[in-house]
Amino acid sequence: MPLRHMYFDPATPSPSNYHWIPWLQKALALNDVLAQTPEMPRPFEPDFDAWSALFERAAIGPDTSLIGHSAGGGFLTRWLSERPDARVRNVILVAPWLDPGRERTGSFFDFTIDPGIAERCGEIVIFHSDNDDPTIHESVRRLRAALPTVIYREFHLGHFSHFDMPSPEFPELLEAVLR
């Protein structure tokens, strides 16, 4: 979730074209997998209903892979928790954030994680970094407690951003999507 000043900085790429996302989209295309990276409205002030309305424009079904980074991972968790009919192929949460102290997102993350999402998603994978922010560690702890069957992968890559990673390539993520 970008800060307001970063979002409005013309020199900073849009959130959907930042970090490893363009590399992953191209790598998926090379594997004949269509990938969409929606630009969520006002990501610096997230509104769950607005994000959901945009997200639900996509065809989401049993063959869909969902990938969420940071607040996007928390969004996917809430969206799946509140839609018991949703079925997807897999979900990969990269440094998922649930704003445990409700410091930046207000009611955006006011929900209970539905343990049933593990049964409705072919596979859920959490990518977590041992040197990320404490609020990410707490978010991951909550997710793992609610969803004990998730596949957990630990790295030493900060928040999986261009500031922390040696390159925009993220082969471990590509492998998880294609598996």
Coil vs helix vs strand at 128: strand
Residues 34-56 have pLDDT tens digits of 999 999 999 999 999 999 999 99
Confidence of residue 1 (pLDDT cuts 50, 70, 90): confident
Read off the tokens for 50: 């607005």
What do you get for the CA distance between the two ends of the chain, in Å?
Answer: 27
**For the chain, what percent of residues have pLDDT higher than 70?**
100
If we measure between CA atoms, which residue out of 58, 53, 10, 61 comes closest to residue 37? 58
Residues 96-133 have pLDDT tens digits of 999 999 888 889 999 999 999 999 999 999 999 999 99
Q: Is the pTM of this model over 0.85?
A: yes
* Domains and their CATH numbers in the chain: 26-56+63-178 (3.40.50.1820)
pLDDT value of residue 12: 86
What's the sign of the alpha-carbon dihedral 78, 81, 87, 89?
A: positive
Element holding 115 (H helix, E strand): none
